[in-house]
Amino acid sequence: MWRRRLSALLPRSPCSSSAPSSYQQKHRHILLPTPNEKPLAPSLLRLFTSQAGSDGGRPFIAFILGGPGSGKGTQCSRIASDFGFAHVSAGDLLRNEITSGTDQGELILEIIREGRIVPSEITVELVRKAIESTTAKRVLIDGFPRCEENRIAFEKITGTEPDLVVFFDCPEDLMVKRLLGRNQGRVDDNIETIKKRLKVFESLNMPVVNYYSSKGKAHKINATGSADEIFEAVRKLFSSLRL
């Protein structure tokens, strides 16, 4: 199932975007409550655990979403360490492809420099290969899907949905501050590109969060505190799951 050819299933156009307004004001109402607001209901726990392994032993899959600078990468590393997940970062996969020096890597670099979304057929293929290469029973997919086209492509190719979606909710000004302050030498860490990335995130990523929220699979984490404070909320969520 994981090895189906992409060319027969995916459109070749990249995700498109439009000018947004504040995503936190528009979308916060539809998200599930944070762990310190109330515990997960038993029905929600059953939803998280009922699908993993039902289609030939596939791993438990968690999508980790949040704007650039929301801290999701740091939290993913801690989740992987504490709860035994393989950490698959869509951003790292794309950057690794860039450093490979291939024609595809050069194309990805140009797209990222322009603040655009990498076409689904490229990202999904990299994610699929990463999932296939791990023997872990639990997988975090960090920063993916980035738009509805990504989501649809993933579900078509794998024939499955994530068991859990975690959304790190962070104010835009804090995300900008974090991105400018990390100084990692990345080509997309300049103020002009950061602003483009935030606009793209709001218009394209939030519909994915809202889609999974409507299915009872998304859980919001307040990402405004320190890394330790944020992870305490994350720890409560993952500790409550029957993994």
- pLDDT tens digit string along 75-98? 999 999 999 999 999 889 999 999
Within-domain flag for 42: no
The CATH number covering residue 142 comes to 3.40.50.300
Residue with the bigger pLDDT between 147 and 23: it is: 147
The region of weakest confidence among 9-23, 51-65, 136-150 is 9-23
Within-domain flag for 64: yes
Q: What percent of the chain has pLDDT over 70?
A: 74
| Residue 86 amino acid letter | A
Per-residue pLDDT at 213 exceeds 50: yes
Over residues 34-78, the pLDDT tens digits come to: 444 444 444 333 333 334 544 457 899 999 999 988 999 899 999
Within-domain flag for 2: no
Full residue range of the structural domain in which residue 186 is found: 55-239
Within-domain flag for 168: yes
Per-residue pLDDT at 123 exceeds 80: yes
Residue with the bigger pLDDT between 239 and 180: it is: 239
170-178 contacts: CB < 8 A, separation 24 or more? Answer: 170/66, 170/67, 170/69, 170/70, 170/71, 170/223, 170/224, 171/24, 171/224, 172/22, 172/24, 172/67, 172/198, 174/69, 174/224, 175/67, 175/68, 175/69, 175/70, 176/69, 177/69, 178/69, 178/71
pLDDT at 72: 92
The number of domains in the chain is 1
- Contact between 162 and 52 under an 8 Å Cβ cutoff? The reply is no
| Residue 160, both tokens | 């499955």
Within-domain flag for 21: no
Within-domain flag for 35: no
Within-domain flag for 11: no
Within-domain flag for 139: yes
pLDDT at 18: 44
